[in-house]
Homo-oligomer: A and B are copies of this chain.
């Protein structure tokens, strides 16, 4: 699915989560957004870090989310490629199927 549908789906599911979530889960989600805020490291670099972490842990949805954010932060193709190289090297060939999908999603993001 495209980036827009992906984000709509996430928002719909987040609403569902918040119907069940108590204070701890809500705080966790809130904290999750805070660590990517501008600091001594830029938002762009932090999103690339989130991407590398998601790739070595092999979570497609997490990868897609960080790719959307990377695109918003004007990450270039070459910056993306260098970050992916690190993820591939650290995580091994088991990450390849996720990296394939990542570049497809990235291509779609650039066309939108």
Contacts and interface: CB of A to CB of B under 8 A. Distances in A.
Contacts of A3: none
Interface in A61-104: 61-62, 76-97, 99-101, 103-104
Specify how many copies of this chain sit in the oligomer.
6
A44 to B, nearest CB: 10
Size range of the chain A interface in the assembly: 35 or more
A7 interface: no
Interface in A19-41: 19-25, 27-29, 31-32, 34-36, 39-41
Interface of A: 10, 13-14, 16-17, 19-25, 27-29, 31-32, 34-36, 39-41, 45-46, 48-50, 52-54, 56-62, 76-97, 99-101, 103-104, 106-107
